[in-house]
Structure 1
Amino acid sequence: MRSENKSSGQKDRSFIEEARRAQIVASAVEVIAELGFARASLAQIAKHAGISKGVISYHFAGKDELMEEVVERTYHAIAEYVMAKIEGVESATGLLRGHILSVAEHMRGHRTQLKALGEIFYNLRTADGQPRYGVKANEAVYEAMESIYRLGQQNGEFREFDTRVMAVTHSSAIDSMFAYWVAYPEHDLDAHANELADLFERAVKK
């Protein structure tokens, strides 16, 4: 059984528990990126981490929950990095460019995580066989992007357009940029991100 889960009312995890979970997640990322989702068994992840499979079972209910933790921690790290980079930026144009460039800057040093995320997004399924991370799972991302585009429209920086369409396009363009870079590691990710920022800036300006 697990020591505890995220349900409200349960005690916080200890420092040791958090450190162990982080170790397991880090090993999961490496194994998934190297072997692929299907072959990344709990036994393989435990072997990489230098622990028993039982230790993983103590902290996670199963492979699905571990995969969700990989996604959650990765996105949390991205969000923290981006927020630090755009702190104090007031213009919508600055926020738009800052988001695209800082996400690319962060992930440039985390290519293995991108490979693991791709495997999880493509393979992880719900109990009824639906993708665990389908389009609807991106709602929070779309809303965050929409807030930037609405700000630009409200302060006169941006022209009128459907903010949801632009947010979906924005998110998809970033996902495609990373997918291409994972497939072609020699590709200049920074140059791609700058071109993308230029493209979106031109698309929204009056």
Structure 2
Amino acid sequence: MRSKNETGGQKRSFIEEARRKQIIAAAVETIAEVGFPKASLARIAATAGVSKGVISYHFAGKDELVDQVVVTVYTEIADTLLPRLAEQESATDVVRAHVLGVAEYALAHPDRLRALTEIFVHDRGADGVPRYGAVAAEPLYESLEGLYREGQARGELREFDVRVMAVTQQSAIDAMFGYWISRPETDLLAHARELADLLVRAVRPD
């Protein structure tokens, strides 16, 4: 769905982009604080210090705003991780750096991870089906599959079903964050190191 202020190929102004970023940041803060079900547009507007009408001007509805929250956080994670992953010397090093990198990002930005978890668990369509499920995770699976295939081609990884491993790795990372959010006293980095060891053992040659 297109925002009300977008027409054809028209670009948003600097002020419009700044306002959208402000609203997205307020949505993250509100969802992390009160949970997705209670994060109404009115409440998000109050957090942002604007009227609900301002949100409606920039976003077609809550679904579009939430979509932009997810895109923004995922883009930020990717921008943080990709340079680090590019420095690794082997496929197993990349697997380890990926797990540890997302854990370090979560520790630095707990509100963003809490907001994502709330969205993934509670955001459902009119049919009651989660709006973010396996289909929404497809880009993540494909990215991991590319890593595995490259490692297999170089002989650094054993032969295995790359889709099964991609789903397993991403699901394990999601479960790690869910566990940490419900038990904040958990040593997230220790958990990540242990998980990374398990995944490396699963993919490296016998």
TM-score, normalized by the shorter chain, greater than 0.5: yes
Shift in Å at residue 60 of structure 1? 0.3
Once residues 158 and 60 of structure 2 are traced to their aligned partners in structure 1, the CA distance between those partners, rounded to angstroms, is: 48
After superposition, the C-alpha distances for 1:52-94 in whole angstroms (9 at most, x for unaligned) are 1111001000111111111110101001101021123342112
Shift in Å at residue 48 of structure 1? 0.9
SS at match of 1:134: coil
Q: Which residue of 2 aligns with 1:155?
A: 154
Equivalent position amino acid for 2:34 in 1: L
Q: Which residue of 2 aligns with 1:13?
A: 12
| Structure 1 unpaired stretches of 5+ | none
Once residues 85 and 18 of structure 1 are traced to their aligned partners in structure 2, the CA distance between those partners, rounded to angstroms, is: 28
SS at match of 1:161: coil
Equivalent position amino acid for 1:12 in 2: K
After superposition, the C-alpha distances for 1:129-180 in whole angstroms (9 at most, x for unaligned) are 3221111111110011111111221111111111111110000000011111
- Count of paired positions: 203
Once residues 109 and 88 of structure 1 are traced to their aligned partners in structure 2, the CA distance between those partners, rounded to angstroms, is: 21
1:135 matches 2:137: no
1:68 matches 2:67: yes
SS at match of 2:28: helix
The counterpart of 1:3, out of the listed 2, 5, 10, is 5
Q: Which residue of 2 aligns with 1:117?
A: 116
Once residues 130 and 105 of structure 1 are traced to their aligned partners in structure 2, the CA distance between those partners, rounded to angstroms, is: 31
Equivalent position amino acid for 2:185 in 1: E
SS at match of 1:145: helix
Shift in Å at residue 127 of structure 1? 4.2
TM-score by length of 1: 0.93
TM-score by length of 2: 0.93
Q: Which residue of 2 aligns with 1:29?
A: 28
